[in-house]
Amino acid sequence: MSKKSQVKTLQNRLTKSAGRKAVISREDVIHAAFSLVGPNRSVSSLSLREIARSAHIAPNSFYRHFKDMDELTLAMIALAGRSLNQLLGEARRRVSKDKSVVVTSIEAFMDMLESEERLLHLLLREGSVGSDRYRNAVEQFLTHFEDELCLDLIRLMKASNQQIMYPHLVSKAITRLVFAQGGYILDRPKKEHPMIKEDLIKMVRMILIGGVAK
Amino acid sequence: MSKKSQVKTLQNRLTKSAGRKAVISREDVIHAAFSLVGPNRSVSSLSLREIARSAHIAPNSFYRHFKDMDELTLAMIALAGRSLNQLLGEARRRVSKDKSVVVTSIEAFMDMLESEERLLHLLLREGSVGSDRYRNAVEQFLTHFEDELCLDLIRLMKASNQQIMYPHLVSKAITRLVFAQGGYILDRPKKEHPMIKEDLIKMVRMILIGGVAK
DNA sequence: CACTTGTATATACGAATGTATATTAAAATA
DNA sequence: TATTTTAATATACATTCGTATATACAAGTG
């Protein structure tokens, strides 16, 4: 089969003759899986058949795209991670004079918590259960964010002629705290979010102050 | 049935005529369930039959002690919470002049991470997946520890004539960070633990310094 | 001792799951 | 258009699960 034929055409999307599905994409399955996770459903509790039902495909069609559930789960993490990465990257570029990188990032993060709840669920709440590969993947994303923040901090401190003792510990503390609170927020009603956000910013400021002190 | 007959006698424990089990206690089932959880098995993935097998009882005997899996899970959390509570209480009483409450508590916590891995697994890593009641119970324990720490902090600050701006935020930040790292440590080899512990103490000190500054 | 009561087991059933195999339709190619 | 190749479905099977019902043993009571 040629490369071209792999592309899903408009015709493919719309054709559905005799109860037979046109081409199914990997992404369709991934999104079907995401649509099932929520506060009370963890990805590790999803069954292959359940996902197939949600994607409107036959159970066996699943195997055309993923070796098993674990492979799907990793793809989901990758997607969520990429989204968060992109979001934080944009936030970083958007930093103004009156708002620090940290505050801007936290605000962006909180926005995403509200708009892309399901995506973040995986990273924030399910990073500690599941297969080794799964947990490893989540952990890898966490340390990635830590590293980025660490670089930011060093740059900022240099610019303002301040000293920071353990930049990697400061960024680790901030990252872990923000992510932990992020997982917590997913359970709270939205009207509490502004308050939680304020508190979170205060807590992060403490860490920063404590980190650069003396 | 009288109260007395409920007590498990020595005879009960040892008698096992005709393949028939003597009296089974709630605790036996709880421990059987704990023996199944680990880095790769979350409590929410355990089946009733699996636990029954592990406890060497018939599947239906489970119902004599628990309405369903959810009720067992709550009992497990309660047990883990009580253990951790007791441990931290002892640590607090053991505070000396040269070691602060915080350091003593963290050290006690780390010790428990090594000796009672399975107990802590529930509280540290599975607090964000599962039923509403389940997550609520875990969250309740977390805030309990926060509150205790908050009181400690206020007392300490008064004693040393220092000011602390947001004691409840300081204790929240510390608690959440320590618990997050606790969940992380469960995946790391023991030889890394001392290093991680040192880092954790440094991070907590930052929060404290940032919290009392000015 | 007989008798009642409580507790564990045995058996069974329907539902759901992962996956193997065979089939069939659509798309690509010639 | 005829043929091949690819991707979806249909059917089927062995497991496992939660739990309903019925049964058997042990302990408590008289």
Under 8 Å CB pairs connecting chains A and B tally to 111
Say which DSSP state B171 is in: H
Q: Is the pLDDT of residue B53 over 90?
A: yes
Residue of chain B minimizing CA distance to A45? B45
Higher pLDDT, A186 or B96: A186
The answer to whether the Cβ–Cβ distance between A39 and B211 falls below 8 Å is no
Chain mean position to CA A69? 19
| pLDDT value of position A98 | 67
CB of B63 less than 8 A from some CB of A = no
CB of A124 less than 8 A from some CB of B = yes
CB of A7 less than 8 A from some CB of B = no
Q: Is the pLDDT of residue B18 over 70?
A: no
Q: Is the pLDDT of residue A86 over 90?
A: yes
Q: What is the pLDDT of residues A168-185, one digit of tens each?
A: 999 999 999 999 999 999
Is B45 in contact with A45 (CB distance < 8 Å)? Answer: yes
CB of A209 less than 8 A from some CB of B = yes
Can you tell me the distance from the alpha carbon of A196 to that of A201, in angstroms, rounded to the nearest whole number?
9
β-partners of residue B41 are B38
Is A199 in contact with B169 (CB distance < 8 Å)? Answer: yes
HEC secondary structure over A164-199: CCCHHHHHHHHHHHHHHHHHHHCCCCHHHHHHHHHH
β-partners of residue B38 are B41
Say which DSSP state A59 is in: G
Token output for B103: 């350091």
Q: Which of A141, A206, A207, A208 to mutate to test the interface with B (most CBs of B within 10 A)?
A: A206
Token output for B156: 């300490």
Can you tell me the distance from the alpha carbon of A127 to that of A123, in angstroms, rounded to the nearest whole number?
6
CB of A188 less than 8 A from some CB of B = no
Q: Which nucleotide lies nearest residue A68, CA to C1'?
A: C18
Q: What is the pLDDT of residues A152-167, one digit of tens each?
A: 999 999 999 999 999 9
| Angle between the N-to-C axes of helices B193-212 and B101-115, in degrees from 0 to 180, rounded to the nearest 10 | 150
Can you tell me the distance from the alpha carbon of B205 to that of A209, in angstroms, rounded to the nearest whole number?
11
B185 CB neighbours in chain A (<8 A) are none
By Cβ distance, the residue of B40, B126, B187 closest to A131 is: B40
A126 CB neighbours in chain B (<8 A) are 128-129
Say which DSSP state B94 is in: T
Query: In 3-state terms, what secondary structure has residue A8?
Result: coil
Can you tell me the distance from the alpha carbon of A53 to that of A32, in angstroms, rounded to the nearest whole number?
9
- Alpha-helix residue ranges (DSSP H) falling in chain A: 3-6, 10-14, 26-34, 48-54, 69-93, 101-115, 117-125, 132-159, 167-185, 193-212
By Cβ distance, the residue of B129, B184, B206 closest to A126 is: B129
By Cβ distance, the residue of B166, B176, B211 closest to A177 is: B176
Q: Is the pLDDT of residue B14 over 50?
A: no
What is the mean predicted confidence (pLDDT) over B21-41?
90
B163 CB neighbours in chain A (<8 A) are none
Minimum-distance residue to C8 (CA–C1'): B61
Can you tell me the distance from the alpha carbon of A149 to that of A128, in angstroms, rounded to the nearest whole number?
22
Can you tell me the distance from the alpha carbon of B184 to that of B197, in angstroms, rounded to the nearest whole number?
12
Task: Give, in Å, how far the C1' of C3 lies from the CA of B73.
Answer: 39
The answer to whether the Cβ–Cβ distance between A208 and B210 falls below 8 Å is yes
- Alpha-helix residue ranges (DSSP H) falling in chain B: 3-6, 10-14, 26-34, 48-54, 69-93, 101-115, 117-125, 132-159, 167-185, 193-212
| pLDDT value of position B214 | 62
CB of B47 less than 8 A from some CB of A = no
Chain mean position to CA B56? 26
Token output for A178: 């923000």
In the stretch 78-117 of chain A, residues with CB closer than 8 A to chain B read none
> Could you say which nucleotides of strand C lie within 7 A of any protein CB atom?
5-12, 16-22, 25-29
Can you tell me the distance from the alpha carbon of B38 to that of A13, in angstroms, rounded to the nearest whole number?
44
Q: What is the pLDDT of residues B148-158, one digit of tens each?
A: 999 999 999 99
- Cα-flanking dihedrals φ and ψ of residue B8, to 5°? -80, 115
Query: In 3-state terms, what secondary structure has residue A57?
Result: coil
| pLDDT value of position A7 | 34
Is B207 in contact with B180 (CB distance < 8 Å)? Answer: no
Task: Give, in Å, how far the C1' of D12 lies from the CA of A59.
Answer: 13
Q: What is the pLDDT of residues A110-142, one digit of tens each?
A: 999 999 999 999 999 998 998 999 999 999 999
β-partners of residue A41 are A38
- Cα-flanking dihedrals φ and ψ of residue B203, to 5°? -65, -40
Say which DSSP state B55 is in: T
% pLDDT > 90, chain B: 77
Residue for token digits 């592990």?
A: B54
Query: In 3-state terms, what secondary structure has residue B41?
Result: strand
Say which DSSP state A41 is in: B
Residue of chain B minimizing CA distance to A175? B177
CB of A132 less than 8 A from some CB of B = yes
Q: Is the pLDDT of residue A15 over 80?
A: no
| pLDDT value of position A22 | 64
